[in-house]
Amino acid sequence: MAMTDEEKIEAYRLMMTVRRFEERCAQLYSEGDIGGFLHLYIGQEAIAAALRFAVPEDDNVITAYRDHGVAIARGLPIEKLMAEMLGKVTGVSKGKGGSMHLADVDRRYWGGYAVVGGHLPLAAGLALADQYRGDDRITVCLMGDGSTNIGYFHEALNLAGVWDLPVVWVIENNEYGMGTSVSRASANPDLSARATAYGMPGKKVDGDDVQATYDAMAEAVEHVRSGNGPILLEAMTYRFRGHSMGDPERYREKDEVSKQEEQDPIKLWGNHLINEGVVNSDRLDEIEKGAEKAVDEAVRFARESPLPSPEELYTDVYV
Amino acid sequence: MSTFSPTVIHSEKEYTGETDRKSVRQAISDALWEEMERDENVFIMGEEVGVWGGTYAVTRGFYDHFGERRVRDTPISEMVIVGAAVGAAMNGLRPIAEIMTINFAFVAFDAIVNHAAKVRYMFGGQFTVPLVIRTTTGGGRQLGATHSHSPEALFAHFPGLYVVTPSTPFDAKGLLLSAIRDDNPVLFVEHSTLYQNRGLVPTVDYVVPLGKADIKREGSDVTIVTYAKMVEIALDAAERLQDEEGISAEVIDLRSLRPLDLDPVLESFKKTNRCVVVEEGHPFASVSGEIAARIQDEAFDWMDAPVKRVNQEDVPLPYSRELEQSALPNADKVIAAVKEIM
């Protein structure tokens, strides 16, 4: 189950693409081109990279509203994602979803969901349908640490446990649910320990380490696909930006953030690849430039795309 | 899936073929059973639907016949009952999720409103949600304030969700079959005191289309618009109005609150020029308020009197029998409302 050298390089390219995509989104938001809420994935890219290679394309993936990185990892074209950000009809959700509601059913990426924890039951249902038909497909459900304290978490993980639903539950623990730290929000801040309550294994992994996260995720996928029921994985990470744009970040010191930024998962992975002799630094620079160019191209496509026609208001609501 | 070529019947009045006499309970049970026999993708999940046989005995015998894969007992977890059913529907199945009573649907409100009703639109039509949520409604059984709601209007507020509420065995079976076969999410609301009511049900395969009102009694002096349990009360009032006052009342059963079939209401109103709306739920932000607003907007020139509303009193329902009954609509209140505008 090891990653090939090519996959390792692609993982780096993916992370860099996510980073540049998010930075550009932040810029477009500040300039008023992107509306609504915008939750950036910056700092959590290693999890998206691991997901890309540990979870086969035919499996289901579903996540919360911090969904850009996951969408890119599932292969959604960044120009269509950027078009969605700008509310264009060429966007993945035809401009009706926005940043928090990206989906591509052809890629079995069932979307980002904006009510905290609301997608956890949906994940259970996606998995139920495959189990019901006797398919060996599994569902990977990502969520933030904040969603572990809403009732949905309890009901969905319990049902998955009772019915042996094929779900890999992945908590992306970035230490804060909005501005409230895990330790201030959770009576037991060891979130993976909750698995015990639902009769499933729980594991914790360094979510800033691509290799470790890939290994844990691939093992979890294998565990679930083999018919052992669900599993809970807690990936420890950190978001470098605010909860969303416009977060005053009164709940943490600037020092805390800069200290974390020294452990930037992209830098860590790049250095790892150089040390392993997989690439040299010139190659990484090249990849970075390529990512920038791809994002430029995505913005150009989005800007040139048409807005939804007025008739779109009344389509897609009843069959 | 075996072939199913049902006759489409809009109204019991049109049907002249062979019938059986059945209760609402049996009619609903038959619809579920037949559709599960026809379509492997249809399954039932909810609290006590399996081993228990359903708390209103609608799914009695299903567990033994279809097995635990297709008749799934859940924990007491309304949020995940609805949410998981939505997910399964997105991923190709046709779930029937049972919420024991509509009072517990409040616990699942987010899953119903934000997910069942919205996901298709929100993702630009990438998938459908062919889901039926069956639930029971209504007061009058001394269950106290939390277990006696009639909040259909609340759920009918949201585009994306159908809200269907039958009043007869004929409609219950035909509408439920349509609901299961529809690609939209449907909240199918059964009145808990109607289950024992008997009526004629066709022996042939048939469906009643969703979103169509039905004239349950023809009349020429006043239009009474209503649904579910209140149809019975309105018909009782109409008979008494005829006998005691010589007033001819037309009774329209909405059957579906969303989509709302206003045309027969307007047509009737243009004939009678008077309307009383009877609804078991509270008057504020209600179905009756909606009907009244639409009539004044779309048939103002035909109005001879204000639209009157008979609703549940604007208080939580009490336990004590007489007190509870006094808070609910009844035939006397309907008659009084009609007489006020004649």
Secondary structure string (H, E, C) spanning chain B? CCCCCCEECCCHHHCCCCEEEEEHHHHHHHHHHHHHHHCCCEEEEECCCCCCCCCCCCCCCHHHHHCCCCEEECCCCHHHHHHHHHHHHHCCCEEEEEECCHHHHCCCHHHHHHHHCCHHHHCCCCCCCCCEEEEEECCCCCCCHHHCCCCHHHHHCCCCCEEECCCCHHHHHHHHHHHHHCCCCEEEEEECCCCCCEEEEECCCEECCCCCCEEEECCCCEEEEECCHHHHHHHHHHHHHHHHHCCCEEEEECCEEECCCCHHHHHHHHHHCCEEEECCCCCCCCHHHHHHHHHHHHCHHHCCCCCEEECCCCCCCCCCHHHHHHHCCCHHHHHHHHHHHC
Instruction: Tell if the CB–CB gap between A115 and B75 is shorter than 8 Å.
Output: no
Residue B34's pLDDT is 97
pLDDT at B115 over 90: yes
C-alpha neighbours within 13 Å on the C-beta side of residue B92: 14
Tell whether B199 and B229 lie within a shared domain. no
Out of A95, A104, A316, the one facing B120 most closely (by C-beta) is: A316
Residue A9's pLDDT is 98
Write out the two tokens for B280.
């078991």
Question: Residue B90 and residue A103: Cα distance in Å, rounded?
Answer: 12
Q: Which domain holds residue B233?
A: 214-341
CATH code of the domain covering residue B270: 3.40.50.920
Out of A105, A123, A132, the one facing B69 most closely (by C-beta) is: A132
Tell whether B186 and B219 lie within a shared domain. no
Nearest CA of chain B to the CA of A134: how many Å?
11
Tell whether B78 and B146 lie within a shared domain. yes
Residue B86 lies in a domain: yes
Tell whether B139 and B229 lie within a shared domain. no
Write out the two tokens for A273.
């690849």
- B165, B184, B207 — which closes off a domain? B207
A123 touches chain B (CB under 8 A): yes
Instruction: Tell if the CB–CB gap between A121 and B80 is shorter than 8 Å.
Output: yes
Tell whether B66 and B34 lie within a shared domain. yes
Tell whether B165 and B28 lie within a shared domain. yes
Contacts of A261 (CB under 8 A, 6+ apart): A43, A240
Tell whether B165 and B59 lie within a shared domain. yes
- B147, B182, B207 — which closes off a domain? B207
Out of B69, B90, B110, the one facing A126 most closely (by C-beta) is: B90
* Chain B CB contacts of A133 below 8 Å: 92
* DSSP class of A126: H
A74 touches chain B (CB under 8 A): no
Residue A277's pLDDT is 97
Instruction: Tell if the CB–CB gap between B84 and A125 is shorter than 8 Å.
Output: yes
Q: Give how many domains chain B has, as a whole number.
A: 2
Per-residue pLDDT band at B2 (split at 50, 70, 90): low
Residue B2 lies in a domain: no
* Chain A CB contacts of B128 below 8 Å: 319
Q: Which helix (H) or strand (E) holds A292?
A: helix A281-304
Longest dimension (CA), chain A: 56
Residue B320 lies in a domain: yes
Instruction: Tell if the CB–CB gap between A316 and B91 is shorter than 8 Å.
Output: no
A173 bridge partner residues: A236
Q: Which residues of B touch A (CB under 8 A)?
A: 43, 69, 72, 74-75, 77, 79-80, 82-93, 95, 110-111, 114-115, 119-128, 159-160, 182-184, 259
Question: Residue B276 and residue B308: Cα distance in Å, rounded?
Answer: 5
Q: Could you read off the pLDDT of B43-65 as tens digits, one per residue?
A: 999 999 999 999 999 999 999 99
Instruction: Tell if the CB–CB gap between B92 and A103 is shorter than 8 Å.
Output: no
Estimate to the nearest angstrom the gap between the alpha carbon of A205 and the chain centroid.
16
pLDDT at B1 over 80: no
Q: Which CATH class is domain A5-305?
A: alpha beta
Q: Could you read off the pLDDT of A269-294 as tens digits, one per residue?
A: 999 999 999 999 999 999 999 999 99
Residue B1 lies in a domain: no
- Report domain extents, chain A: 5-305
Contacts of A170 (CB under 8 A, 6+ apart): A47, A51, A140, A141, A142, A143, A217, A220, A233, A234, A235
In terms of Cα–Cα distance, which of A172, A162, A171 is closest to A230?
A162
Tell whether B76 and B106 lie within a shared domain. yes
pLDDT at B315 over 70: yes
* Chain B CB contacts of A197 below 8 Å: none
Q: Could you read off the pLDDT of A209-234 as tens digits, one per residue?
A: 999 999 999 999 999 999 999 999 99
Calculate the CA dihedral of residues A208, A211, A217, A218 and round it to 10 degrees: 170
Run means of pLDDT, 10 residues per run, chain A, 319 residues: 93 98 98 96 98 98 98 98 98 97 98 98 98 98 98 98 98 97 97 98 98 98 98 98 93 95 97 97 98 98 98 94
Contacts of A138 (CB under 8 A, 6+ apart): A59, A60, A127, A130, A166, A167, A168, A221, A224, A225
* Chain B CB contacts of A155 below 8 Å: 75, 77, 79-80, 83
Tell whether B165 and B256 lie within a shared domain. no
Tell whether B132 and B268 lie within a shared domain. no
Backbone phi, then psi, for B291, in 5-degree steps?
Answer: -65, -45
As a whole-number percent, the residues of chain B with pLDDT over 70 amount to 99
Q: Are A68 and A102 in contact (CB under 8 A)?
A: yes
Tell whether B156 and B302 lie within a shared domain. no
Q: Is the ipTM of this complex over 0.85?
A: yes
Tell whether B218 and B185 lie within a shared domain. no
